[in-house]
A = this chain, B = another copy of it.
Amino acid sequence: MSYDELRERLGRINDLSRAASLLAWDERTMMPKAGAEARSEQLATLARVRHEMFTDEAIGRLIDEVRAGLDPDAEPGSSIEADLARVVARDWEKARRVPADLRAELARTTSVSEHAWVEAKRESDFGALLPHLEKNVELTRRYADCFEDFEDFSHPYDPLLDEYEPQMSTEDMRRVLGELREGLVPIVRGATDGDGGEGPGDNSLQGDFPEDLQRRLVEELISELPFPEGSWRLDPTEHPFATSVGHGDVRLTTRYDESNLGMALFSALHESGHGLYEAGVAPELARTPLASPRSLGLHESQSRLWENWVACGRPYLERLLPKLREAFPGSFEAVEVERLLRDSNRVERSLIRIEADEVTYNLHILIRFELELEIFEGGLALAELPEAWNARYREYLGLEVPDDAHGVLQDVHWAAGAFGYFPTYSLGNVIAGQLWEAAGTDIPDLESRIGTGDLAALGEWLRDRVHRHGRRLPPAEILERAGCGALSVEPLLDHLRERVAIAA
């Protein structure tokens, strides 16, 4: 009875949470401009009501009652009941520790700060953002302080990281990304930048590609992915994302740049990877918190896997080329697979993270992660952030940052108070490398299957090893059971070495 009541209460909270996802999706794809103010009030109310419903004493009592009837030593994954109780108990404990006032102040402050960031970036004026950043960091420290005696945390950055990468310690992340840096810096140093001195006309993915033709192609490519029938839609937006607004309902987005086909193509496949993850969660977890994957590292591994390992690989591109010729008559007649492969895997040191290629991307992330650690370990004053940023771009990428708009002001994350988010991007790449290797072991003809258009084999493998678990297993346990062993950067580094060789 307690379990049924707990599940029903969590089901209602989940309904509100999915409703909020739809409102957020609509805001970024459909909403008329004049609806913005009302929408932010609606989203704030949904967050508030959800929080009140979840932090209710009754939820804690129900969790205790459910746990009292369960084997305390049950393995994760052995019963939904036990997994739900375990995961929700931790969520509830975390939610109860943060006072409502602090939550409200964080929401208000970061909202103001985000608006200030837009202006500061436009003017390339770090000083204008600084007081907001200082307030954000101060409140974030107060948030972290709420967890001083929380058993899972031992580092001031742990509670921040845990929001985006549950149950991974700062020390583990530092070790993994440290190894990644060690391996990556020499790879990037040895890479040729682009093809040197050529204009954009030399890239087969750049040219003139009408939006409606792009859309038709991209929809065809997504329809070949292993989505359940009638379970997704694709819409244009400014900053592509994917979201699940309910079981059986995935919203994908992409951005069309008529001069650059790669933009829509690869971002759509990237977001489809996120969408497949959401769509692959076992149906019996629907309406529970177990149905919403929380590890951004695992989530990003799914998007990167489809975008970079699959779609930028030779077998996929060999099948893509005739489709490109059909979709854009004249544009790809003279293009051979080798060229398409090279154009899909260009390497170029650049200043802007979101425009970076697959290889150098991780250096952008490492810089941000290291700076976040310095901030929260107390060594770095925020006023010195631009200087520290520029020094690392010089050291890791060999680039001079001309101004803060192209430097420390380029991302919204810190202005939005999202400290602890960045490292999950690179963690996702690391995990994708390991999963790709494990999938290749289990499906020996994986690449040739992709070459014949059979994407279901990989889709089913991922669903079985990763997706279906939702939050039932800790991320490390999912990887272990998928045959990946402990986190290791070697598969990613091997993959990037191959990509650099193609680009050369």
Contact = CB atoms under 8 A, between A and B. Distances in A.
Given A19-B42, A23-B19, A41-B287, A245 B35 contact: yes
B34 A249 contact: yes
A32 B286 contact: no
A34 B286 CA distance: 13
A46 B230 contact: no
A42 B230 contact: no
B233 A34 contact: no
Contacts of A31: 249
Interface residues of A, number: 42
Contacts of A232: 32
A219 to B, nearest CB: 13
Given A38-B286, A228-B34, A12 B48 contact: yes
Interface string A19-32: 11011001000111
A41 B15 contact: yes
A113 to B, nearest CB: 23
Nearest to A279: B34
A353 interface: no
Contacts of A45: 11-12, 15-16, 19
A230 B41 contact: no
A32 B249 CA distance: 6
A249 B30 CA distance: 10
A231 interface: yes
A38 B233 CA distance: 16
B18 A38 contact: yes
A213 interface: no
Interface string A41-66: 11011101100010000000000000
B286 A247 contact: no
B287 A34 contact: no
A32 B287 contact: no
A19 B12 CA distance: 15
Interface of A is mostly: helix
B16 A248 contact: no
A246 B38 CA distance: 5
A71 interface: no
Nearest to A8: B45
A229 interface: yes
B35 A248 contact: yes
A73 interface: no
Nearest to A15: B45
A49 B233 contact: no
Contact of A249 (B38, B46, B287): B38
A47 to B, nearest CB: 11
A175 B341 CA distance: 78
A86 interface: no
A151 interface: no
A216 to B, nearest CB: 14
A42 B23 contact: no
A26 B243 CA distance: 15
A33 interface: yes
Contacts of A231: 32-35
A355 interface: no
Given A23-B22, A26-B22, A49-B49, A15 B34 contact: no
Contacts of A37: 247-248
A260 to B, nearest CB: 26
Nearest to A250: B32
A39 interface: yes
B16 A49 contact: yes
Nearest to A246: B38
Given A22-B23, A32-B233, A46 B15 contact: yes
A249 B44 CA distance: 17
6 contacts: A12-B45, A12-B48, A19-B20, A22-B26, A30-B233, A35-B248
Interface of A: 11-12, 15-16, 18-20, 22-23, 26, 30-39, 41-42, 44-46, 48-49, 53, 228-233, 245-250, 286-287
In the complex, the 3 A-B pairs of residues with the closest C-beta atoms, listed nearest first: A35-B249, A38-B246, A34-B248
Given A18-B42, A34-B229, 19 more contacts: A12-B48, A12-B49, A15-B41, A18-B38, A19-B19, A22-B23, A26-B26, A31-B249, A32-B231, A32-B232, A32-B233, A32-B249, A34-B247, A37-B247, A37-B248, A38-B247, A38-B249, A38-B286, A41-B287
